[in-house]
Structure 1
Amino acid sequence: MTVDQGTGQRLRGRVAIVTGAGNGIGAAFAGALAAEGAAVAVADIDGDAAQGVASTIQERGGRSLAVQVDVTDRGSVRAMVSTVLAGFGDVDVLFNNAGVLLKEPYLSTTEQQWHKVMEVNGLGVLLCTQEVARHFITKGRGKVVNTCSTSSRSPSAHFAAYAASKASVLSLTHSSARALAPYGITVNGIGPGIIQTNLWSEMHRDESGSVVGDDPTVALDDYTSSILLRRVGTPGDVAPTAVFLASDDSDYITGQLIMVDGGIVLQ
């Protein structure tokens, strides 16, 4: 995990929950938020990974706690919110970042694969937003940020289930922005492009860890032709936008999707 050196002021006094923060983009979000002064709940289904990120933040002088959560289970989500409120006394920002990535030819996508991707990527956003919004409503403010992906706008034939799930996240971003605006809650999305993370590498490996199909490094390189800036992104490229959406600077922005993709999708 890379924690950018921030001013330590932009998010001082804020409390953020980041789901799927045990590695990749989520870990970068958590580190960047902490570097700007936020207390960060590192939430992940992998409790050990969450603890590792939280410990790194603490070693660097930040405030953090680890929470194991299954975002597809309402009881688990409620327990996460209770743990954060008990540990930090408040929640100001929710990052719905937990997700699974599936690459499968369109005609080979199975019902089991479809349900898994849709439950984690879609249902997880709904449940987390609902449960955290109940707290936001009591105080009349709050921010929700959803990881949408360029696939929500420009789907690929080999990522049909994933693209459909991210389109549902974008739709939830719009509907929840409308539903929650009367309570002073903003809801926005970040659309990362092709980002080099463990999630991408794991997608190309079987249970033994052996590479199957395309080599992940080669596969990443193949996508650069579609990127105007001609390079694959890193989690650090996305994290500054997360800080912006968590800060007061974004108070008059809601229902929007901000692409951080090097120029894949032009809006």
Structure 2
Amino acid sequence: MSLNAAPVDLSGKTCVVTGANGGIGQSAVAHFLTQGAHVFATDVAEDYGGTADTNLSYAQFDLLQEAGLADAALWVKNCQPDVLFNNAALFDMGSVLDADLTQMDRLFGVNVRAFYALLQAASQSMVASNTKGSIINMASQAGHRGEALVAHYCATKAAVISYTQSAALALAPHGIRVNAISPGVIDTPMWKTVDGLFARFEGKEPGQKKREVGEAVPLGYMGAPEDVARVAVFLASQQSEYITAQTICVDGGNVLR
């Protein structure tokens, strides 16, 4: 029996990473670079906080500003990506009694509206250049179920999962694969903010919520950014060439589906 082993190597590929300055984004950038890709990274921060590399280019865009989003979409097209890691997102908390429309507009503005605009830009570029690319959207375990204090965020991530399925079906005739990654609780710098929000809304001590959620994971601990980045490399590579329209949970067993 012959073994046709598909490569993980991304040499010669162009990968676009949004939300590149966070823990998961920086890890994805580093993993793509390690596999030989040229990476175009973007975030709202003026400067990139990760390690510099000759195969890394960085651009700043504010996706909540109309002009910034338009510039970012054009930038994505001009990058002519083989891979889009669609990772930029905002998080906030509040029950349906106090999570107002301003919070809703901010979260949906980045997590859904900007997410979709950049997905569309990458798709149009891939179709125009006949690139059989891979689009990887960042969902969340919050997109699989509602949470009392995270209504708007949960709704945005449910939308990401739905758009992933629809885009995958629309782009399949062009040989473009669209999948999502659904992280559980991942130990990133953002968790300091999340923990603080839970301390305020649930009356917990600082660090208590982070400890509790880690212990509640079936595997017994929080994940790391590289746990997500490794799956992103898999979805970007030929290893996953027959996978599309799927949401892969990277959550230590939190979501059973």
For residue 9 of structure 2, what is the aligned residue in structure 1? 10
Query: Is 1:181 aligned to 2:172, yes or no?
Result: yes
Within 2, Cα distance between the matches of 1:204 and 1:229? Answer: 20
Describe the SS at the equivalent of 2:16.
Answer: strand
**Contact 1:200–1:216, Cα closer than 8 Å, also in 2:** no
Q: Tell me, which stretches of 5 or more residues in structure 1 are unaligned?
A: 1-7
Within 2, Cα distance between the matches of 1:39 and 1:169? Answer: 26
| CA distance 1:78–1:106, change in 2 (3 Å) | closer
One-letter amino acid of the counterpart of residue 111, structure 1? L
For residue 25 of structure 1, what is the aligned residue in structure 2? 24
Query: Is 1:64 aligned to 2:56, yes or no?
Result: yes
Describe the SS at the equivalent of 2:242.
Answer: coil
Write the deviation string for residues 26-55 of structure 1: whole angstroms up to 9, x where unpaired.
11111111111111111101122xx232xx
Among 206, 229, 251, which residue is 2:219 paired with? 229
How far the C-alpha of 1:215 sits from its partner, in A, is 4.7
For residue 243 of structure 1, what is the aligned residue in structure 2? 233
Write the deviation string for residues 28-85 of structure 1: whole angstroms up to 9, x where unpaired.
111111111111111101122xx232xx141xxx510111123345653453455467
Among 170, 180, 183, which residue is 2:161 paired with? 170
| CA distance 1:231–1:133, change in 2 (3 Å) | same
For residue 52 of structure 1, what is the aligned residue in structure 2? 49
**Contact 2:27–2:225, Cα closer than 8 Å, also in 1:** yes
Within 2, Cα distance between the matches of 1:215 and 1:35? Answer: 39
**Contact 1:97–1:147, Cα closer than 8 Å, also in 2:** yes
One-letter amino acid of the counterpart of residue 145, structure 1? I
For residue 183 of structure 2, what is the aligned residue in structure 1? 192
Within 2, Cα distance between the matches of 1:228 and 1:204? Answer: 20
Describe the SS at the equivalent of 2:97.
Answer: helix
Tell me how many residue pairs correspond in the alignment: 247
Write the deviation string for residues 144-182 of structure 1: whole angstroms up to 9, x where unpaired.
100100111122111111000000111110111111111
One-letter amino acid of the counterpart of residue 242, structure 1? A
Within 2, Cα distance between the matches of 1:250 and 1:73? Answer: 35
Structure with higher RCO (Cα < 8 A, 6+ apart): 2
One-letter amino acid of the counterpart of residue 166, structure 1? K
Within 1, Cα distance between the matches of 2:120 and 2:76? Answer: 16
How far the C-alpha of 1:115 sits from its partner, in A, is 1.2
**Contact 2:8–2:233, Cα closer than 8 Å, also in 1:** no
Q: Calculate the TM-score normalised by the size of structure 1.
A: 0.85
**Contact 1:196–1:235, Cα closer than 8 Å, also in 2:** yes
Among 59, 67, 76, which residue is 2:68 paired with? 76
Within 2, Cα distance between the matches of 1:205 and 1:74? Answer: 30
Percent of matched pairs sharing the same residue: 34
Within 2, Cα distance between the matches of 1:259 and 1:29? Answer: 16
**Contact 1:17–1:93, Cα closer than 8 Å, also in 2:** yes
**Contact 2:80–2:126, Cα closer than 8 Å, also in 1:** no
| CA distance 1:74–1:188, change in 2 (3 Å) | farther
| CA distance 1:158–1:254, change in 2 (3 Å) | same
**Contact 1:45–1:68, Cα closer than 8 Å, also in 2:** yes
Write the deviation string for residues 203-246 of structure 1: whole angstroms up to 9, x where unpaired.
4559xxxx855455221111134311010111122111010011
Among 112, 118, 124, which residue is 1:128 paired with? 118
For residue 106 of structure 1, what is the aligned residue in structure 2? 96
| CA distance 1:183–1:119, change in 2 (3 Å) | same
| CA distance 1:196–1:186, change in 2 (3 Å) | same
